[in-house]
Amino acid sequence: MRKLLGIGILALGVAAFAGTAMAADGMAIYKAKCAPCHGADGQGTAMAPAFKGNAWVKGAADAEIADTIVKGREGAAKKYKQYAIGMPKQKLADDEVKAVVAALKGMAK
């Protein structure tokens, strides 16, 4: 019985660690998907606006930012008209989108 209890506790510990380790890393996703246009540190580029100090990101609801990430902004929906290209749709899992939103909010502070 003790052996089973020990194995059960060990399994729970491993599962908890694996769940934490597998949680989406917003900055890693940002660097892979967003940095080419928005800059490595969110400073903006000639292709896309900065996230550092961005008033819209600061004030927008998480759901609004997530919607923009998932749906993109093209044509008339573009917020920043001075950039030649629009924001393409991103194919990310829900937890990845939440992690990126948190990273963007952190950059905007």
Write down the pLDDT at residue 18. 42
Contact between 72 and 90 under an 8 Å Cβ cutoff? The reply is yes
pLDDT tens readout for residues 57-84: 999 999 999 999 999 999 988 888 999 8
Structural domains of the chain in order of their starting residue, each with its CATH number = 24-108 (1.10.760.10)
* pLDDT the model gives residue 79: 87
**Burial class of residue 87 (count of CB atoms within 10 Å of its CB; 0-12, 13-18, 19+):** buried
Q: What is the pLDDT of residue 22?
A: 54
Distance between CA atoms of residues 104 and 90, nearest Å: 15
Q: Which two tokens stand for residue 89?
A: 């749709």
SS3 state at 88: coil
Contact 51, 57 (CB under 8 A): yes
Write down the pLDDT at residue 46.
Answer: 95
Q: Which portions of the chain are predicted below pLDDT 50?
A: 4-6, 8, 14-21
